[in-house]
Structure 1
C-alpha cells in the first residue's frame, strides 16, 4: 500500500472513530462503520491499478489521489456538525485536527506542500523523444572515449591554463516567417480568421562560435538563394559574415570560409575548435585551412551532439525557446 493510501485510510479511520465516540448507541453503528471503512479503503489501490500501463508507469496520479483525498475531507466534514452538537471540547478539537490533516494531505498531493516525500511513482515527467541512432550512439563506452580523447588534447594544448583558446562552434536553423498561431481581434461569432503567410517557412542558418571565457566570434549567417542583397547585411552584429546557399544551410565551401573567418578573431596561439560530426565537415580542405590558422579541429561523436554539444545544450536551447514565443 502506498503512502497516499495509508494517509487516506488513516484519515477515514480517524473520522469513523470520532463518529463512533460522538454518536449514541455505539454498538448499533459500529458494524456500519466497519463495512464502510472496508469499502472505501481499497479505492486508492483500485484507481492506481486502473491508471497503470503495461510498463508499470502511471499517469494522472496527482488527480486520482486528489479525488480520494477529497472523499476523506467530505467524510470529515460530515462528522464535524455531529461532533459539535454532541461532543465536548476534546472531541471537537480531534475532529478539527482530522479535517486539517486531510486538507494538508490534499494540498501536498497537488504540490502546494512538501511535508513528506512521495513515492517515485507519484512523479510525472514529459518524455523526450530520441531516434534509434542517437539512442545507440549515446552509450557509456562512446561517451567515455570522447572525454578521454578531449582530455588528452586539453593537456597537449595546455587548455586549462589558456581557456581563451578553447572554441565551440554550432549551427542552428531558424524560420523567418510566422511559425505559430497568433491571436487576433475578430467580430463576435466569427469562426475562422485567416492570416496571409507562407505555408512553408523560409529558413536561415546561423553558425555561432564562442570560447571558454565567454568571448564570442561574430556569427556567420547563411540565407537561402544565390544573390546576396545589401539589405541582408542590415542590423547585423559588427563583423558578421553573411553568405548565400542554395538550401540555406552550411556547405563544405562555406565551412572553409568560416574557418578563415574564425582565424581573424581567434586568440593568439594554437586553438582548439570543437564542432559536430556532420559529413560536410569532413574534408581535406577544412583541415588544411585550419592548419594554416593554427587551429586544431575536434569532431564530436556522431549522433551525440544533443547531449555533448555545449552550445546546443545551453545557448541554442534557450534561444530556440524564446524565438518560438515571438
Structure 2
C-alpha cells in the first residue's frame, strides 16, 4: 500500500493483522486479538520497515508532486540569481477621459457627461533578473505596422512590435524571446542554464 502512496497507519495494523489471522485460521478455536505492543514487535521482526510521521496532503496536490518534478526543482536551485528572470507586461493608456468646464442649470445635480473617447492601449514587455538587472523593453503599438514618428525621443536599444489590440500574443512573445531575452541574457549566463518565469504566455 505504501508503494501506491497510501501507507497503512500503525494504529490500524493490529486490527488488520487480526482480520487476516481469523481468515487464515483452520480451527474452530477463537483467535485472540493482538495486544497493544504487537505493532512495535512486528516492526522489530521486519527491519526493512520503519515508522515515520507523514503530513496529510490533498490528492490533487499529491499527484503534482511526483518524483521527477521534485528532482528537477532541486536542480533548479543551483541556478545563479543573475540567471533567473521574471517577465510581465504592463499597459499604458494613451487616451483618458478628463474633466471639462461646461455651462448648465444651477439645479442640475450631474457632475459628469457622456464622452466618446477611444481608449488606445500601448503595452510594454518588461523583464528583470533576481539580482536586479533589467532588460531593455519591447513596446507594442496598437497597429498593423510601426511608424518611426511614433517615437518622439531617442530610445537606444528599445524594441518595437505591433498588434491590432496593442497587447502581446504568442507571436510577439516568441519574437521577444528571440530579439530581446536571448541576446541580452546569453552572454551573462556564459553557457549556464537560465530560468524565465512568465505568466499566461503560450
* TM tier, smaller: 0.5 to 0.7
Are 2:187 and 1:265 equivalent residues in the alignment?
A: no
Are 2:199 and 1:276 equivalent residues in the alignment?
A: yes
Which secondary structure state, in structure 1, belongs to the residue aligned with residue 189 of structure 2? coil
Alignment of 1:10-49 (within 5 A): none
Aligned with residue 81 of structure 2, among 163, 166, 170? 163
Which secondary structure state, in structure 2, belongs to the residue aligned with residue 216 of structure 1? coil
Deviation at 1:154?
2.2
Counterpart CA distance in 2 for 1:236 and 1:153 is 42
The CA deviation string for residues 209-267 of structure 1, in whole angstroms up to 9 with x for no partner, is 00011111111111111121112233364321111112222222211210121122112
Counterpart CA distance in 2 for 1:253 and 1:178 is 29
Are 2:124 and 1:206 equivalent residues in the alignment?
A: yes
Deviation at 1:153?
4.4
Deviation at 1:148?
5.1
Aligned with residue 249 of structure 1, among 146, 152, 167? 167
Counterpart CA distance in 2 for 1:208 and 1:240 is 11
Are 2:96 and 1:174 equivalent residues in the alignment?
A: no
Partner of 1:221: 139
Are 2:153 and 1:230 equivalent residues in the alignment?
A: no
Cα RMSD of the aligned pairs, angstroms, is 3.4
Partner of 2:74: 152
Could you tell me which runs of 5 or more consecutive residues in structure 1 were left unpaired when the two chains were aligned. Answer: 1-139, 282-326
The CA deviation string for residues 260-299 of structure 1, in whole angstroms up to 9 with x for no partner, is 2112211233311111143xx2xxxxxxxxxxxxxxxxxx
Which secondary structure state, in structure 1, belongs to the residue aligned with residue 150 of structure 2? helix
Could you tell me which runs of 5 or more consecutive residues in structure 2 were left unpaired when the two chains were aligned. Answer: 1-59
**Alpha carbons 1:228, 1:243 under 8 Å: kept:** yes
Which secondary structure state, in structure 1, belongs to the residue aligned with residue 135 of structure 2? strand
Q: Which has the higher contact order (CA 8 A, sep 6+)?
A: 2
Are 2:29 and 1:141 equivalent residues in the alignment?
A: no
Counterpart CA distance in 2 for 1:187 and 1:171 is 42
**By percentage of residues, which structure has more helix?**
1
Distance 1:166 1:247, change over 3 A: same
Counterpart CA distance in 2 for 1:263 and 1:273 is 11
Counterpart CA distance in 2 for 1:183 and 1:276 is 36
Counterpart CA distance in 1 for 2:92 and 2:126 is 13
Counterpart CA distance in 1 for 2:194 and 2:162 is 28
